[in-house]
Amino acid sequence: KSSVIMEGRMRSFLKALLLFALFFAVAHITRISIVPDSLPIADGHQSGWQVQIAFVLMSVENIGLFGMAIVMLLALLNRFRRLVAR
């Protein structure tokens, strides 16, 4: 295959990686600045708004982290498949 096609595929992986990194960074900075002392742990009682916001932002952080991991895994598999195909 052409190197231009492969470069385009890697560019799409990089764009997806940067998108998930942006999700993580924005959620992390927002959580640290809005609710710095709250941990997203519910203890069974009616939790306050700080805990609820921390939980939502931590969920978005985790989506960003898992998304980055999946994109990196797919990019590595793509590279490995290209090396094996040679």
The larger pLDDT score, comparing residue 66 to residue 8, is at: 66
Asked if residue 1 has pLDDT above 70, the reply is no
Which of the 8 DSSP states describes residue 37?
Answer: T
- The DSSP 8-state label assigned to residue 21 in this structure reads H
Q: What is the mean pLDDT of residues 18-39?
A: 92
The predicted model gives 8-18 an average pLDDT of 85
Give the mean pLDDT of the chain: 85
pLDDT digit string (tens) for 41-74?
766 665 788 888 888 999 999 999 999 999 999 9
Q: Check pLDDT > 90 for residue 27.
A: yes
Q: What is the DSSP letter of 45?
A: S
Q: For residues 81 and 86, what is the distance between their CA atoms, to the nearest angstrom?
A: 9
